[in-house]
Amino acid sequence: MPQHLPFPNDRIAVVSITRHGIALAGKVVAVLPGATLFAPDKFRAEAAAAAPGAAACYAGKTGDQIPALFAAFDGIVAIVSLGAVVRLIAPHLKNKDADPGVVVLDEAARYAIPVLSGHLGGANALAGVLAETLGAQPVLTTASDARETLAVDLLGRELGWTFEATHDEIVRASAAVVNDEPVALVQEAGSRDWWPRHANGRGGPLPANIRLDVTRIEDIDPAAWGAVLWVSHRPLPAALAPQLAGKTVIYRPPQAAQ
């Protein structure tokens, strides 16, 4: 299904350090117009030919460019070995809310491997775009993607939904989803079109452990569910808050979606 990036193409950097990789980087820039190709200065001519008007060359070590790339771009396609990329980015990692989505693409364009910030950072979606446009195979290792189930931190994102939850609540709800625990999805607001044709969705039916039976949060039996996903504009009822603490993710659709 078509992939949707959570950032514009001009927030994507394509990094390559070899002649053959630079040629492929030019193809990546062509399918992601607005992206910028970064290459060592010694390959300036090759980079300019591969991505006319969209090449930026640097002197010195590639590792020295990482802080600036992390600060200026939301998505990075690295046509560099996986191990080298891990070593290059490791000293600069902060957290999943701040780090860019990083995808490694091999020089033959066979595999697109999300390495960092697969969901919130958009690396999985970026790998999907490369798969669609270059014929690469996306290598997705996040559990929700591998099992083709709901991604808690992506639910409703393309519909403008935001979520309210701590890191631990997201982790607990995500674990409940992928471990086939009963998960209540209580939708009181927003578009119902949040599963198919979206970054969160899949081609098949909603997994059986995610239940839509309850339509009001007051009707929830907290003890019956491993996690509760609540889509609403209302504040959480005070009487339920203690019982749902730690196991609930609240989603806020735009008011206009009612």
Q: Do residues 173 and 247 share a domain? A: yes
DSSP bridge partners of 96: none
Q: Domain ends where: 88, 121, 141?
A: 141
Tokens, residue 247: 């196991």
What does the pLDDT read at residue 41?
97
Residue 125 parent element (H or E): helix 123-134
Question: How many domains, the chain?
Answer: 2
Q: Do residues 72 and 126 share a domain? A: yes
> Is 180 part of any domain?
yes
Q: Do residues 133 and 157 share a domain? A: no
> Is 46 part of any domain?
yes
Q: Do residues 85 and 157 share a domain? A: no
> Is 147 part of any domain?
no
Domain around 114? 9-141
Q: Domain ends where: 84, 108, 141?
A: 141
Contact (CB, 8 A) for 201 and 221: no
Q: Do residues 120 and 184 share a domain? A: no
- Residue by residue, DSSP assigns 198-244 as STT--SSPPPTTEE----SGGG--GGG-SEEEEE-SSPPPTTTHHHH
Residue 73 parent element (H or E): none
Q: Do residues 220 and 240 share a domain? A: yes
Q: Do residues 163 and 197 share a domain? A: yes
Per-block average pLDDT, block size 10, for the chain (258 residues)? 77 97 97 97 97 96 96 97 96 90 96 90 91 92 76 88 92 93 96 78 81 94 95 95 95 77
Q: Do residues 124 and 164 share a domain? A: no
Q: Do residues 15 and 128 share a domain? A: yes
What does the pLDDT read at residue 257?
43
Q: Do residues 133 and 240 share a domain? A: no
What does the pLDDT read at residue 253?
95
What does the pLDDT read at residue 1?
43
> Is 44 part of any domain?
yes
> Is 39 part of any domain?
yes
Half-sphere exposure of 154 (CA within 13 A, CB side): 27
Strand order in the sheet with 248-252: 162-164, 248-252, 227-231, 183-187, 210-211
What is the pTM for the complete model shown? 0.76
Q: Do residues 13 and 134 share a domain? A: yes
CATH number of residue 19's parent domain:
3.40.50.11220
Q: Domain ends where: 83, 106, 141?
A: 141
What does the pLDDT read at residue 199?
63
